[in-house]
Structure 1
Amino acid sequence: MSTLTRRLLRAFGPAIPSGHLAEALRAALGAIAALAILGALVHFGGVDLRFGLYLIAPFGASSVLLFAVPNSPLAQPWSAVVGNGSAAVMGVLACLLVDDPTLRVALAVGAAIAAMILLRAVHPPAGAVAMTAALNPDQMAEQGLWFSVSPVMLGTALLVGLAMAYARLSGRRYPFRQFDAPNAFGTDDPVPAERLGLSEAELQDILDRYRQSLNLGVEDLARLIGAAELQAASHRSGAATAGEIMSRNLVTVGPDAPLSEVADLFRRHGFTSLPVVQEGDKFLGVIFQLHLIRRAHDDAFRLERGFGPAMARMLDPRRSTPVRAGEVMSVAMPRVTPDTPVAALLPMMAEGSCDAVPVLTRGRIVGIVTRTDLIAALARQSLRATD
């Protein structure tokens, strides 16, 4: 097979990386739920099809963006609602001004594209909205510009609202985080991986210069540049592995250990994290000091008492039903093997949400890499590089 043939075949192949089954199911279930709710509102509302909310095919296309690629600038609320609405206006005007059906459809879609670009509201399904209007001149003559309000903008706004709720429930972010939005800790500093020394205007200029402003937001670009810098730095971190730098002499607790015992171990050893294991060192999760603080805060709010009394009650060893380590430990966290390169640990700990990474062999914990371990390893590598 010639080089040219291989390039052509590659050009017609998939342009996006393979997706995970869990992500596919998450997006599909979101679209199913949103369209089912929207359909139920139409069905049980006894809607007048002339002037009320009803389902149109472009809502399905909008659902693909809202639930499958919610980080795309094309899927953001302004793009979706204003893009679909302006396209509907163009479609209705085409019906009122042009009799020839072929020319009417072409002009409607072209005018919709121009309007979306000028309004900074590009949303690909809006092309189908304009075509839908242009293909139904009789209905548009009856509804007029009200078609752009309902069903188009109203239905799109409902889909956007449902997408926002579903993103929060499924642990995603929609709309995407703005460049100057507070971080996960509630402060205005960018997360460490995104402290690039570049302003929002400079990042936007890069997107405009390479004509990528429709594909990426400023926040996404900062995140990608930060990830690339971390990856490049990992190439200079040497060939060390997690097994070489991990802490091996572990202090662990069982899932039934009361939090009073956990707190005593934190105080005695000065740790910030403790692995939770079953018999035979089978790894279950990690409990961090922060978990104790959060649990006490939740109890204080639930019991309507101060934080201090709530913490004291939680750690009281005389309680008849003490809170156990297994109830507050974290299980959704990265984990590695002894052969994992130190380079792979950098992005895991860069954002501050992970203080320690357990090192496992066949499900059993053999060590843990803390931030202190990682910093010490990088410092040694830096000293070797200067020799």
Structure 2
Amino acid sequence: MKTNLPLWRAFGPVLPAASPRELLRATVGGAVGIGGCALLVLASPGLFGLPLMLIAPLGASAVLIFAVPNAPLAQPWSAVVGNMVSALVAVLVLRHVPAPLAPAIAVGGAIFAMLTLRALHPPGGAIALLTALDPVPALEMGFLYALAPVGLMTSALVAMGILYDRRTGRRYPFRQPRAADARAPSRLPLAADELASLLQRFNQSPNIGVADLGRILAAAEEEVANHRFDAVTCAQIMTSKLVTVGPDDPIAAVARLFRSHAIKSIPVVEPSGALLGIILQADVIRWLTTPGLSLATVRSRHRITARQMMRTADRAVAADLPVGHLLRRLASQGGEAIPVVDAGGRLGGIITRSDIMRLLLHGTERRAAA
């Protein structure tokens, strides 16, 4: 599909503006990470005879680890293995390739090695180029150069990233889903391997993880549901004319209400209107057929009260909750009757499966007419 956007728009900023909190978190994190590495070098310039020193590409690694910790390119495997294999490739190139060609071959070889090992990390290319341009330290140490300073310093930076990001509300490293996981964390009807296949199809695997994609799709699904029902709230579809009982009403009174009304649930409310719980038909049957219940107890039904039979109303929803949110909750948790309460916890109505069906059918008829 063609667009009329001017060409110059392609050269403008692509990233969204960062929030003040994220600006502060990433800025301080980068400083903490590199500062910690510098302190490590000062405290122990040599470890087991291997030199520790700051190298410029660590700054690029810090950008990924502290600014975009959920990105696949920033994960520990990518950072540590990517930097180390790039250093190994650079040392190998320096030993066998003439100087004028070494920088180009080193960078190209590093990219090939990182992609092969599924350890793509952009600072690895910088390590390969830096090593080729300043070959003396790498040639003196040989392949140990990949272990120290490159591997050890990158590992130290990753360790500080794990501590800092977890402490500041970011998830690093981002755990990868197992192939055996039946569903992605978004509760979408897509398995984790299906989400991974989508990323591969659009060549986005290096840029976004499976879990992030699942959350984005779930949020989009929720927005679609809200748009589909024009931001209808629970208060707009609930049944407000209710049959209720008090907490001390006997089981006989509850049973009579079920028999005389075509209802499947009865809310239990205080005289003030505050919701206490809800009783389903199955609850009455369960109390009347409980093993060990004596005949005398059954005959004196006044001893069993609504408070004893009711189940908690922990699935109650706010009156202003969009129906799209409720549908997602019903899809994941189920439920036959959902109480609707106001800000003070007073019962306003009940949403049943019939109410949901009417809403769905109304939306279908409206779209068909359109």
Provide TM-score, normalisation by structure 2. Answer: 0.65
Q: 5+ residue gaps in structure 2?
A: 239-269, 279-317, 366-370
Q: Distance in 2 between matches of 1:199 and 1:189?
A: 6
Q: CA deviation at 1:178?
A: 2.2
Does structure 2 conserve the Cα–Cα contact (< 8 Å) formed by 1:194 and 1:225? no
Q: Structure 1: which 5+ residue stretches go unaligned?
A: 183-187, 247-263, 273-335, 360-364
Q: Residue 34 of structure 1 corresponds to which residue in structure 2?
A: 33
Q: Which residue of 1 aligns with 2:145?
A: 147
Give the superposition deviation at 1:56.
0.5
User: Within 5 Å, which residues of 2 pair with 1:134-213?
Assistant: 134-180=132-178, 190=183, 193-196=186-189, 198-213=190-205
What is the alpha-carbon distance in structure 2 between the residues aligned to residue 337 and residue 8 of structure 1? Answer: 48
- Residues 239 and 42 (structure 1), Cα distance of their counterparts in 2 relative to 1, 3 Å cut: closer
Structure 1 residue 48, shift from structure 2 partner: 7.7
Tell me how far 1:80 sits from its aligned partner: 0.7
Q: 1:54 to 1:377 in 2, by over 3 A?
A: farther
User: Is residue 84–residue 129 contact of structure 1 (8 Å, CA) maintained in 2?
Assistant: yes
Amino acid across the alignment from 1:233: A
1:227/1:133 CA distance change after superposition, 3 Å: same
Q: Which amino acid in structure 2 is aligned with residue 212 of structure 1?
A: Q
Distance 1:228 1:121 in 2: 30
Shift of 1:200: 3.1
Closer, same or farther in 2 for the Cα pair 1:239/1:171, shift >3 Å? closer
Contact 2:165-2:171 within 8 A present in 1 as well: yes
Aligned to 1:117: 115
Quick check: 110-119 or 340-349, which moved more?
Answer: 340-349
**Counterparts of 1:141 and 1:208, CA distance in 2:** 39
Residue 226 of structure 1, aligned match among 208, 218, 221: 218
Alignment equivalent of 1:217, drawn from 209, 212, 215 = 209
Determine the structure 2 residue equivalent to 1:249.
none
Distance in 2 between residues matched to 1:122 and 1:54, nearest whole Å:
23
Where does residue 276 of structure 2 map in the other structure?
270
Give 1:158's aligned amino acid.
A
How many residue pairs were aligned? 288
What is the match of residue 44 of structure 1?
43
**CA apart distance, 1:39:** 0.8
Q: Kindly indicate whether the alpha-carbon contact (under 8 Å) linking 2:106 and 2:128 is maintained by their aligned counterparts in 1.
A: yes
C-alpha distance 95-346 of structure 1, shift in aligned 2 (>3 A): farther
Which whole-Å deviations, capped at 9, do the CAs of 1:285-331 have from their partners, x for residues lacking one?
A: xxxxxxxxxxxxxxxxxxxxxxxxxxxxxxxxxxxxxxxxxxxxxxx
TM-score normalised to structure 1 length:
0.62
Task: Say yes or no: does 1:85 pair with 2:77.
Answer: no
Note closer, same or farther for the CA distance 1:94–1:24 as it changes in structure 2 (3 Å cut).
Answer: same
Aligned-pair CA distance for 1:206: 2.1
- Which residue number in structure 1 is paired with residue 294 of structure 2? none
* Larger CA Rg, structure 1 vs 2: 2
1:51-89 alpha-carbon deviations (Å, 9 max, x no partner): 321110111100111111111111111111110001001
Shift of the alpha carbon at 1:374? 11
Moved more, 160-169 or 62-71: 160-169
Cα shift at 1:37: 1.2
| 8 Å CA contact 2:38, 2:54 repeated in 1 | yes
Closer/same/farther in 2, CA of residues 87 and 167 from structure 1, 3 Å limit: same
Give the whole-Å Cα distance in 2 for the aligned partners of 1:15 and 1:165. 29
* Pairwise CA distance, 1:147: 1.1
For the Cα contact (< 8 Å) 1:81–1:157, is it kept in 2? yes
SS at match of 1:194: coil
In the alignment, residue 12 of structure 1 is paired with which amino acid?
F
Change in Cα spacing, 1:16 to 1:378, as seen in structure 2 (3 Å) is farther
Question: What SS does the corresponding residue of 1:270 show, helix, strand or coil?
Answer: strand
> Is the contact made by 1:79 and 1:121 (CA closer than 8 Å) also made in structure 2?
yes
User: CA distance change for structure 1 residues 383 and 165 in 2, over 3 Å: closer, same or farther?
Assistant: same
The AA in structure 2 aligned to 1:23 is E
* 1:381 aligned partner: 359
Shift of 1:218: 2.2
Mapped to 1, the partners of 2:340 and 2:162 lie a distance apart of 31
- CA deviation after TM superposition for structure 1 residue 172, in Å: 1.6
**Structure 1 CA distance, aligned partners of 2:352 and 2:79?**
44
Alpha-carbon distance between aligned partners in 1 of 2:191 and 2:176, rounded to the nearest angstrom = 13
Residues 109 and 130 in structure 1, CA contact (< 8 A), matched pair in contact too: yes
Tell me what 2:125 maps to.
127
Distance 1:236 1:32, change over 3 A: same
Deviation at 1:368, TM superposition (A): 9.9
Alignment partners' CA distance in 2, 1:106 and 1:122: 18
Secondary structure in 1 matching 2:79 = helix
Note closer, same or farther for the CA distance 1:189–1:376 as it changes in structure 2 (3 Å cut).
farther
Which amino acid is 2:360 matched to? S
